[in-house]
Amino acid sequence: MSLKTQYVRYMPDVKDMRDGTVYISAEYETAIHRCACGCGHQTVTPFGEGGWKMTLDNDKITLSPSIGNHRFKCRSHYLIQAGEVVWLDR
């Protein structure tokens, strides 16, 4: 699954978010997207100490460490590398 990036100041409401889009707020040092599995849950990844590291290469986002949505019913676990979802074991 390929992901697009969209730069925003304020994060959209989950009902206004599009699947396959990562919304990035540089001002608030956070990225947000709908869970990559398609369950529709909002996944928030704050940057900085204790959070995620974001890198961009030609608008292709990489987030590290992995995203583990263990509190969601889907329990999805994945990486976002160069704008692509890489599935990991749950």
- Sign (positive/negative) of CA torsion 27, 3, 81, 70? positive
Range of the domain at 61: 4-87
Q: What is the pLDDT of residues 18-67, one digit of tens each?
A: 999 999 999 999 999 999 999 999 999 999 888 999 999 999 999 999 99
Q: How confident is the model at residue 90 (pLDDT cuts 50, 70, 90)?
A: confident
Q: Is the pLDDT of residue 89 over 90?
A: no
Structure confidence at residue 29 (pLDDT): 95
> What is the tally of structural domains in the chain?
1
Q: How confident is the model at residue 10 (pLDDT cuts 50, 70, 90)?
A: very high
Contacts of 55 (CB under 8 A, 6+ apart): 61, 62
